[in-house]
A and B are shown apart, each in its own frame.
Chain A
């Protein structure tokens, strides 16, 4: 099974400051079709998960452009350029190349 390891697991951030979450996979996520199936999700308190980024770097409709995804192979990053209060929640990476696994989640809080 592919293991997804996120860091940090807890991320206190000052409003207006940038934030970065790392996600590493135990093997390369490049599929035989050439795509890399790595998504990022946000789960606000009491809500369902919401997809932010798909296939590494594609932002979903309605997602603020302060969110960006990057990476390749086994190493991926979600960046928030300027954290806002509404960004509080837990962020998960997910790989869909070898069936499906989620990272453990990173809890973002306002410092």
Chain B
């Protein structure tokens, strides 16, 4: 069955970097568009970025443009989110989710940006 497992979260200082991973199983990652969605503590859901299935197109919410990069490794069937120049307001649980329909979500990984 479809499974998404995020990892890579942790505590990082403002201005630091972190790379999140989303390991996919039960399907071929390169056949599907993929998203990252985040949720700040006690807050609602915020879409962060999308990668088209053929890898030709990426889109980002304005607050992360120029700082975050979505990518994938087809050989590892894994999606990534490279996060640079992190800010306290980036503190959140980060979820990966499949397709524009968002039928499948991972369990999330917590990123805390704090000095």
Contact = CB atoms under 8 A, between A and B. Distances in A.
Contacts of B108: 48
Nearest to B104: A51
Nearest to B48: A100
Contacts of B35: 100
Interface stretch (B11-19, B71-79, B94-102): B94-102
Contacts of A41: 45, 102
B44 A104 contact: yes
Given A92-B45, A99-B59, A105-B44, A54 B101 contact: yes
Interface string B97-115: 0001111011110000000
Contact of A48 (B44, B46, B106): B106
A39 B105 CA distance: 14
Given A48-B95, A48-B107, A39 B102 contact: yes
- Assign chain A's interface to a size class: 20 to 34
A83 interface: no
A5 interface: no
B47 A54 contact: no
B101 A50 contact: no
Contacts of A74: none
A102 to B, nearest CB: 4
A108 interface: no
> Which 8 pairs, one residue from A and one from B, show the smallest C-beta to C-beta distance?
A100-B47, A102-B45, A48-B105, A105-B44, A51-B103, A96-B100, A104-B44, A48-B107
28 contacts: A39-B101, A41-B45, A41-B102, A43-B45, A48-B95, A48-B105, A48-B108, A49-B37, A49-B45, A49-B102, A49-B105, A50-B105, A51-B101, A51-B102, A51-B103, A54-B101, A60-B103, A92-B44, A94-B102, A96-B101, A99-B47, A100-B50, A100-B100, A101-B47, A102-B45, A102-B47, A103-B44, A104-B44
